[in-house]
Structure 1
Amino acid sequence: MLTTTKAAERQAASALVEGRNSYISDLQAWHKRLQEKQVELESTFDLRKVNKWSVNVWDDYPEDGTTYAYVEMDAVPDVVCVDLLMHLLAYVKSNRVINDSDCAFSLRFYDSSSVYPALIGSREGEYSMFKRWEMTITGANYESLDLVVQELKKAPDFQGKPFKIYSES
């Protein structure tokens, strides 16, 4: 069937608007699901069920030497994760050995949908997406990162629970 150029342009513009609206709806739904999960985690979290705090210090990083550490426990809500990471950050800031490693440390909230928005809307893509608190480690190399991990293993307990610090990617 033949169509005019104007009709084809209208159809393309309509398809673009429909696609954009679908994407925005999918993005909003993903954020809403994660928010609802956090509300549920906060209401059901039981500190008595925690034996150790599992913290992964990511050991694969870009050339600028920035990596991160995060709480690798699905049943722990963000409000606890940020407190736990602030506890570790305070320990790091007061630790002479780590401070001599030339690494800089800070805290951030990372939302992978802001970096990989194209993953929204597919089950496989969304499976690898997350929002979480992270302690960033800047200026690291493999040697200094190993030192940081070894020193973090000596961090004092948080809420009466010890840490399980490890480094893997």
Structure 2
Amino acid sequence: MLPTNLTKSAIWLLPVLVLNLSGCGLGQSVSDGTKSAVSSIFYKKIKVLHLDFVARADLNTDARENNSHPESVVIRVYQLRERKIFDKTVYQQLLKEGESLLGQDLLASRDVVLKPGSAVGLDMPMEAEAKFVAVVALFRQPDSIKEGWKQVLEREQLDPDKARVLEADANSLNLIAVEGE
């Protein structure tokens, strides 16, 4: 009689054991799913970098000339891991050897040509490791005192749905503020 009672107990023990073990995994899956849902609702991921550039009519003029005509300007966009090296660079360094100078911090770059009185948009894949987006306008006569030829945006300043707008004038690049900034 003892062997039969043990067999009956063993038959029920196996399903209970299976349910307990699968329940642990189920609880973890539900927990992971909840975290994923919360982060997707409250923390939007930037998968595409959206920037709009607007040029004034006096774009890229040279104050040293009496009758300076506006000219197109090249806008260079860098996605960076860190910004320390970028912050230390001067205009001439970025103009000639930007990509090699930024080295390991540089994840991606793109150039855009902006004509006087026009606007152009840039949509490029946002690198997952990028913490900063640095924008450089390669003017004929850059404002080297105020360093208005470059701007840096932190990843948190970007919106996955709306483009950040930068305005270029005679020799400076200005980030247009967003409501609440």
TM-score by length of structure 2 reads 0.28
Larger relative strand fraction: 2
TM-score by length of structure 1 reads 0.29
Larger relative helix fraction: 1
